[in-house]
Each structure stands twice: as structure tokens, then as C-alpha cells.
Structure 1
Amino acid sequence: MDESTATRPDADRRTSSRTAIVVKAVTLAVFVALAVTVGMLVDLPELEEIQQTVADLGPAAVFAFIGAYGLITLTPAPKAVLSMAAGAVFGFWAAVPIVIAGAMIGATAAFFLGQLLGRSAVEHFIGPKVEKIDRLLSRRGLVAVIGVRMVPVIPFTAINYASGLTGLRRRDYLLGTAIGMMPGIAAYVAIGAFGFDLDWPFWLALGSLGVLTVGAGLFAWRWKKHDEDSDDESDGERA
């Protein structure tokens, strides 16, 4: 067997692998493009329309809202508006678990979609963010997930898709997501539930969002500094 014959299978495998990566990357690009288009072109309903729909559906409105929230979570469309609408329609104590359920459905679906498409395809599409998310989440696991969810330094949707490609354990992702989302969701739901009264719960919710925003800035600064220090150490080791 000559050398060209021996190396042909390896070349074929590399070509096949590259083709698979391109196909997956294109699939992800099309999916995200469609999601963005839907998020930009489809207007979220007004509060009065949601209230009327809830009245028409009765108990089924809860499941309809959870499903809709889960689907919207797969897109970059703003979720805070729906969280506030849930508070206005269902009331604070009912809306919080409803919104969390919808957000978890979307976050879980995006996690498994990222796994299905593969790391190479997603890296090809969104670039170095996957590597940064991998370093952050794989090293600190559950604590890191709670941190980025509670004070998000990376967009919610990006974390969902990229987390499926990291070394993060599935249990840590799901538990950390559920815990980390609670403060922000509770604050947005409270604004919707108590915003019309402008009573102390509304101002407490508004203040909580302010604290989370400041915390997000500090967390982002420390994470960026830590990331730069890690890169410097890696460059020094290679030198």
C-alpha cells in the first residue's frame, strides 16, 4: 500500500468532519437568524390583550403562557416585558413559578440544542465567547452559573446555547439556572404586579433591579480582569 493510499482515509475523514461542521454551523446560523427575525418582527401583545386572552383560556392560560415564554426564551427577544406582564395578569405569587417554568423550558431546550449541533459549529458561529464561557463555568460549576444568572455578564440566550458545549455538568447548569434567575424574575414580576399601585413592593423591586445591575457591573469587571490575568499566565507559560 503506497503512502497516498494510506493517507486517503484520513483525508476523507477530515473532509467529512469539516463538512459536518459547516452544515451544523449553517443550521445554527439559520435557526438564530429566524429567531432574531421573529423577535424583531413579531410585536409582543399589549397587557390588555394578554388579560383578555387569559380570561378566554381560563386555567389553560397558565400552560399557554409557559409555552410561549419558553419559545421566546430561545430568541434574543426581551423577556422582561413578559415577566412584568405575568405579574400584572397572574399576580406576584402565581407569576413567579410560571415565569421560572417557562424560562427553564427555554434554557433547557437551548442547552440540548447546543449539544446537538456540537462545539465546533457553535464556535464557528459565535467565536471566542464559547471558550470564555467554558473557562468560567467549567472551573466554578454551580457557583458560576448562579453568578452569571443572578448578575448576567453574558446575554441569557448566549449562555443557554454555549453551556451545552462546555464541560459544565447538566445538574449544575439546571440547578444554577433555576436559583440564579429567581431574584431577577421576582423583581420584574413584582414591578408588573405592584407597578400600578406604586406602593413599597414596587419600589423594593425597582431597588433590587438596581442592586443587580450594579452587581452585574462589578462581576463583569472582576471576570474580565481574571480572564486577562489567565491569558497573561498562559502566554508566559508558552514563552
Structure 2
Amino acid sequence: MKIPSGWPFRLGIAGAVALLMLVLWLVLRQLGMPASLSPDALSGWLNGQGVWGPVFLFLMMVLAVVVGPIPTLPVSAASGLAFGVLAGTLLAATGALTGALIAFSVARILGREALREKLSSNPVFASDGSQWLLFWMVFLTRLIPLFSFALISYAAGVTAIHGWRFALASFLGMLPMTFVFAGLGTTFELNPFVTVAAAVVILLVMTTLPWYLSRRPGSRLARWLRLDPKR
């Protein structure tokens, strides 16, 4: 099978990112990052790192989003406990957005071209796919912590969404829960039933909406989402 032009470079980029994340994980563990990853333990460790504390928090969030060995919610809670609500929210959200953009870029480099060719008529993957639809899909999934931040970032990378739209939708969508966890720390718990129910509803909408729009290209919803080829 013939390897597409540019694949050695693409695989090299993906390998470099993977190696960088591995090195980052090993360095943080060597510096004493708690194995338990509880908000109290993490905040205590971060407070003991002096001026490097905010940097380590940022790097932990990047690592959590790109690779996923660290859950993002405890890190968000620790950010508020260690640096206060506003500063903690900004640090956690900035780190998560940076990690999301890295994951998005890796997926775009590796898989975007192939899916665009195979699914040229799909409003999610086509070259002229609806940016409005994709923006709201990313935004909604960011609101529910049950969705894997890393998985959504990689998945978005192979869609038609523009990078800046992905970044904006991710940042706006993650802010509410990041702020809540940074503000309430270990005292806050999500209601499992409500969280799972909301995630299921959003998942159903995201899986059925492209199919519906492909069958009803002239519907009012399609026009609102700017699926008109003349948009």
C-alpha cells in the first residue's frame, strides 16, 4: 500500500508530541507530583513549589488533555485551592486549552485529509462543513465533564471545524465547570444521574443531527446552521 505524501513528517510530529508528553510526565513525577492526584494533595504540592507552582499546574493540565493520565477535574479543583478561584480558573482553563489545541493539531495532521476525501458529503467532515454546527457540537461536549476532554479534542481535529472556532468553543464551554471546581474544590460533587443523563442526551443529538441534516438539507434547522451551500 502506497503511503500518502508527507506521512513520514506527520508521523514524526505525532511521535515527537508523544515523547514530549512522556518526558513531561516523568519530570513531574520526579519533582514529587502526588500519585494520589487528590485536590488536597495536589494543592499542597503546588503551594510548595514557589514560583514554579503555576507553571506545574499549567503543564499538568496540558498533559491531562493530550494523554489523559491525569483526570482534569481534580486538577481544576486543586488550582482553586492553591491559587484562588480566579487565578486558578485562568491557569486551569489556559492549560486545558493548550492541551486541546495540541491534540486537535495532531489529529488534524494525521487523519483530517483521509476523512475529508471519504466523507465529502457529510456536514461534519466535508471541506465546506457547517462551522456553526461544529462550533455548537464542541461547545456542548465541553459543558459536560463526563465527556473525555482528550477524546473530543482528537475527534474535532478530523472534522471541518476551523482551529480558531474549536479554540473558542472549547474555552467558552470549559469555563463554567472549571470555575465551579476551582471555586468549590473538594466540597463539590456532581450528581451522577444528572451528569450521565445530560451526556446521553448530548451524545444522541450529536449522532443523529448530521444524519437528519443530510436527509433534510433545506430544513429550517439546516438554514439556521448555515448548511446552505451558498453560505
1:108 maps to 101
1:66 Cα shift?
Answer: 0.7
Query: What SS class does the counterpart of residue 166 from structure 1 fall into?
Result: coil
Residue number among 31, 38, 60 corresponding to 2:52 in the alignment? 60
1:172 Cα shift?
Answer: 0.7
1:222 maps to 205
1:160 maps to 153
The reply on whether 1:176 has 2:169 as its aligned counterpart is yes
The reply on whether 1:81 has 2:68 as its aligned counterpart is no
2:88 maps to 95
Q: Which amino acid in structure 2 is aligned with residue 221 of structure 1?
A: L
Could you list the runs of 5+ residues in structure 2 that have no partner in the other structure? 30-34, 218-231
Query: What SS class does the counterpart of residue 141 from structure 1 fall into?
Result: helix
Aligned Cα root-mean-square deviation (Å): 4.1
The reply on whether 1:72 has 2:64 as its aligned counterpart is yes
Query: What SS class does the counterpart of residue 160 from structure 2 fall into?
Result: coil
TM-score, with normalisation over the residues of structure 1? 0.63
Q: Which amino acid in structure 2 is aligned with residue 67 of structure 1?
A: L
Query: What SS class does the counterpart of residue 2 from structure 2 fall into?
Result: helix
2:2 maps to 15
Residues 51 and 153 from structure 1, CA distance in 2 versus in 1: closer, same or farther, beyond 3 angstroms? closer
Residues 81 and 24 from structure 1, CA distance in 2 versus in 1: closer, same or farther, beyond 3 angstroms? same
Q: 2:205, 2:143 → 1: CA distance?
A: 15
Residues 26 and 109 from structure 1, CA distance in 2 versus in 1: closer, same or farther, beyond 3 angstroms? closer
Could you list the runs of 5+ residues in structure 1 that have no partner in the other structure? 1-13, 196-201, 235-239
1:155 Cα shift?
Answer: 2.7
Q: 1:152, 1:57 → 2: CA distance?
A: 28
Query: What SS class does the counterpart of residue 67 from structure 2 fall into?
Result: coil
Q: Which amino acid in structure 1 is aligned with residue 92 of structure 2?
A: V
Residue number among 94, 110, 117 corresponding to 1:117 in the alignment? 110
1:7 maps to none
Q: Deviations over 1:83-119 (max 9, x none)?
A: 1222222232321111101101101111122233343
Q: 1:145, 1:191 → 2: CA distance?
A: 25
1:167 Cα shift?
Answer: 1.3
Q: 1:133, 1:25 → 2: CA distance?
A: 24
Residues matched between the structures, number: 201
Q: 1:21, 1:132 → 2: CA distance?
A: 26
Equivalent residues of 1:21, 1:120 under 8 A apart: no
Residues 108 and 52 from structure 1, CA distance in 2 versus in 1: closer, same or farther, beyond 3 angstroms? same
Structure whose alpha-carbon radius of gyration is higher? 1
Runs of 4+ in structure 1 off by over 6 angstroms are 29-36, 231-234
Equivalent residues of 1:69, 1:103 under 8 A apart: yes
The structure where helix makes up a greater share of residues is 1
